[in-house]
Amino acid sequence: MQKPQKYDWKDSNLALFGSKTEKDVKKAASEVETAWQPVKECTSDELFVWRIEKFKVKAWPKEDYGKFFSGDSYIVLNVYKDPDGDELLYDVHFWIGKHSTQDEYGTAAYKTVELDTFLDDKAVQHREVQEHESSMFKSYFKTITYLKGGCATGFRQVKPEEYKPRLLHFCGVRRNIEVKEVKLTRKALNSNDVFILDLGRTAYQWNGKTCNKDERIKAAAFLQQLENERHGKTQTFTLDENSIGSEHKFYQSLPDVPYAKKSSEVKSDVRSGKKAMFRLSDESGKLQYSLVSEGNCPRSMINEDDVYIIDTAWKFSYTSAPGPRTLRR
């Protein structure tokens, strides 16, 4: 009986995995990506944003930084100087819209790795998901706005008179103001938040009767930005829910009644989540995950021999000493 042939992995292409040859090939491939070339000329702090369009990396207009279509995936690179020297440091994020296709976010992930290779593996890579972005990612933009549609919808700059009406919802507190496009209907309104109705030539800021000042300020800044982008061709108005009636043009431009939700609805406050700290330890001979503290999580409760996860309701933080590799993994 003939014995099956034995194969040695060293005879396969895996033999080159992690080798200098493989790294050189990847580096050469990254060098021919035209989207990365402006980064090569960067000598100081700068932000770059690209959108994935049909498997290609396309530069995103600087005037649209902070605007993300829910049907797309993006790559964001933050370049900054080392505070203790002149070396340039990099944080690269790939952002996934909630309606982005697998092809798009797969390309974004692959191209993020390629960009890191282009930067000689100096970048720290981050994954961002719509509405769950890290504080670092949010800090790059004055406002993050989620828009409906995406590359497949053929997004393009249009004149105000050709503009498709949209309704934007502003909700949150302090720096955590979420801005997203919602369905163009009166039913989308609620008295707790602020909304902007953008009609192209005219834009209205509608302040719900129980909205907070942070939402009003953020919406006002957005309205001013809208005016600037359209070179004063858009008239803007600020309205208070209690000061206008249902016959106002704002309401008449929105289909469906009733136009507002009841104030009895509870507003989701981004600060309402409780902070909690969990410990992962192997002191019993097996890995165990347990709650250490809720609400107050002082540093003094951290044992450097274990791994901890701190849940702030908006993000998870991981902390540990060098410790056992099995715990960190």
CA distance 92 to 119: 10
**Whether residues 136 and 236 fall in one domain:** no
Q: Is residue 128 domain-shared with residue 93, that is, in the same domain? A: yes
Reported as a single tens digit per residue, the pLDDT across 40-67 is 899 999 999 999 998 899 999 998 999 9
Task: Give the DSSP H/E element, type plus range, for residue 288.
Answer: strand 288-294
Helix axes 102-118, 20-31, angle to 10 degrees: 110
pLDDT of residue 256: 77
Residue 314: which of 173, 140, 188 has the closest Cα? 173
Is 329's pLDDT higher than 50? no
Give tens-digit pLDDT for 185-201.
Answer: 999 999 999 999 999 99
Q: Which of 88, 122, 145 is the last residue of a domain?
A: 145
Q: What CA dihedral angle connects 189, 167, 243 and 193, to 10 degrees?
A: 50
Q: Is the pLDDT of residue 154 over 90?
A: no
Name the residue among 147, 136, 135 with its Cα closest to residue 222. 147
- pLDDT above 90 coverage of the chain, percent: 44
Q: Are residues 190 and 136 in the same domain?
A: no
Say whether both 232 and 324 belong to one domain: no
Q: Structure pTM?
A: 0.59
Q: Are residues 141 and 29 in the same domain?
A: yes
Total structural domains in the chain? Answer: 3
Same domain, 35 and 56: yes
pLDDT > 50? residue 328: no
Q: What is the CATH number of the domain that holds 165?
A: 3.40.20.10
- CA gap 288, 282 in Å, rounded: 6
Largest interatomic CA distance in the chain = 93
> What pLDDT is stored for residue 265 in this prediction?
37
How much is the pLDDT for 205?
97
Distance of alpha carbon 147 from alpha carbon 50, whole angstroms: 16
Question: What is the model's pLDDT at position 5?
Answer: 55
Residue with tokens 């909700």: 171
Is pLDDT above 90 for 158? Answer: no
pLDDT digits (tens, 9 = 90+) for 223-277: 998 888 888 888 999 999 999 988 899 999 998 754 444 443 334 433 344 567 7
Q: Within this chain, do residues 180 and 213 fall inside the same structural domain, yes or no?
A: yes
281 lies in some domain: yes
User: Which helix (H) or strand (E) is 238 found in, with range?
Assistant: strand 235-240
Radius of gyration of the chain measured on its C-alpha atoms: 25
- Which tens digit of pLDDT belongs to each residue from 206-227? 999 999 999 999 999 999 988 8
Query: Are 165 and 115 contained in the same domain?
Result: no
Strand intervals (E) in 165-297: 166-173, 176-182, 194-198, 202-207, 235-240, 276-281, 288-294
Host domain of residue 50? 22-145
In this structure, are 38 and 141 located in the same domain? yes
Q: Of 111, 145, 179, which closes a domain?
A: 145
Any domain includes 151: no
Query: Does residue 79 register a pLDDT over 90?
Result: yes
Residue type, 215: E
pLDDT digits (tens, 9 = 90+) for 166-184: 999 999 887 778 899 999 9
CA dist., res. 196 & res. 216, Å (int): 10
Stronger pLDDT, 302 or 325, i.e. the higher one: 302
Give a yes or no: residue 243 inside a domain: yes
Instruction: Give the mean pLDDT of the chain.
Output: 79
pLDDT value for 18: 54
